[in-house]
């Protein structure tokens, strides 16, 4: 297991989402890692626990009682069928894929409502609602992409078959007063807005569904004036690949 793969499991440990055997396996891998990786792993575990404690006591709303079970059941079923199918979009070994997406499901189940499910989504009477997070996690082509945003991290779990993604931001500081974070879906035709976040929207753990991925190849972030901009006016502060 590479250092990057090991660090992907730090939030899972922070959520206490591993079995005893899985935890022992991670601890054995961690013992052989570099001091820098061990320090970063510990920092991410600590940050996850602090963030989840904060959001669960202050900002969370009760999710549907079946949400987490539906996600975990769907992910397990997807793993059983994936062994007999060839795909160039699932890059994680099935077992670790199940662990990571199960942990993501737990994050979403706890933090649901922190920003609102669909950012930047305007629905008319003729439109169908965007896919829910359980549909994204259950999709056979679900992938994840992560990166730093300021002093925190952002991970987008995305599925082109559902045309949607689930964004989870951990310990990202709110934008400064008088500015907003604006998200952009970047593709061959340029950048189109995927919504904005004010300082009141950003919590220790912030989640949202990003619908209408279409041909986007990246989810990017800029800092913009209040209300957002028609096109990016500042350089991207982060960019997460969607392919």
Instruction: Name which of 148, 152, 165, 155 is nearest 202 in CA terms.
Output: 152
Long-range CB contacts (within 8 A, 24+) of 126-132: 130/164, 130/209, 130/211, 130/212, 131/162, 131/163, 131/164, 131/209, 131/211, 132/209
Report residue 212 CA to chain centroid gap: 16
C-alpha to C-alpha distance for 76 and 99, rounded to whole angstroms: 10
The pLDDT of 59-82, averaged and rounded, is 48
- For the record, the structure tokens of 87 come out as 């795909």
Q: Which stretch, 58-62, 92-96, 237-241, has highest mean pLDDT? A: 237-241
Domain positions in the chain: 61-241
Q: Is-contact 94 79, C-beta < 8 A? A: yes
Share of the chain above pLDDT 70, in %: 64
**Could you tell me which residue, 67 or 151, shows the higher pLDDT?**
151
The full DSSP string for 165-215 is EEEEEESPPPPPTT-EEEEEEEETTEEEEEEEE-TTT--SEEEEEEE--TT
Q: Is-contact 165 159, C-beta < 8 A? A: yes
Q: Is-contact 114 60, C-beta < 8 A? A: yes
pLDDT score of 77 more than 60: no
The pLDDT of 185-197, averaged and rounded, is 94
Q: How many residues does the chain have?
A: 243
Q: Is-contact 172 152, C-beta < 8 A? A: yes
With 0.75 as the threshold, say if the pTM is over it. Answer: no
C-alpha to C-alpha distance for 106 and 71, rounded to whole angstroms: 9
86 phi, psi to nearest 5 deg: -100, 140
pLDDT score of 237 more than 70: yes
Per-residue pLDDT, 196: 92
- Local structure of residue 92 (DSSP, 8 states): S
Confidence of residue 166 (pLDDT cuts 50, 70, 90): confident
């Amino acid at each position: 297991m590479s250092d990057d793969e090991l660090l992907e499991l730090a939030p899972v440990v922070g959520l206490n989402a591993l079995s005893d055997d899985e935890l022992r396996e991670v601890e054995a891998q961690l013992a052989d890692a570099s001091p820098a990786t061990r320090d970063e792993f510990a920092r991410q575990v600590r940050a996850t626990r602090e963030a989840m404690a904060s959001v669960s006591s202050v900002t969370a709303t009760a999710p549907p009682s079946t949400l987490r079970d539906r996600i975990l059941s769907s992910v397990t079923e997807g793993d059983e069928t994936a062994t007999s199918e060839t795909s160039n979009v699932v890059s994680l070994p099935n077992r670790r894929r199940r662990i990571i997406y199960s942990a993501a499901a737990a994050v979403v189940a706890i933090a649901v409502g922190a920003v609102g499910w669909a950012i930047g989504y305007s629905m008319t009477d003729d439109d169908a609602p965007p896919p829910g997070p359980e549909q994204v996690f259950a999709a056979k082509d679900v992938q994840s992409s992560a990166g730093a945003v300021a002093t925190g991290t952002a991970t987008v779990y995305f599925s082109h078959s559902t045309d949607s993604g689930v964004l989870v931001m951990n310990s990202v500081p709110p934008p400064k007063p008088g500015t907003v974070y604006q998200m952009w879906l970047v593709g061959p035709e340029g950048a189109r807005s995927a919504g904005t976040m004010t300082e009141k929207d950003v919590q220790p753990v912030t989640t949202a569904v990003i619908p209408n991925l279409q041909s986007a190849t990246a989810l990017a972030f800029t800092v913009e004036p209040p209300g957002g901009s028609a096109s990016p006016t500042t350089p991207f502060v982060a960019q997460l690949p969607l392919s």
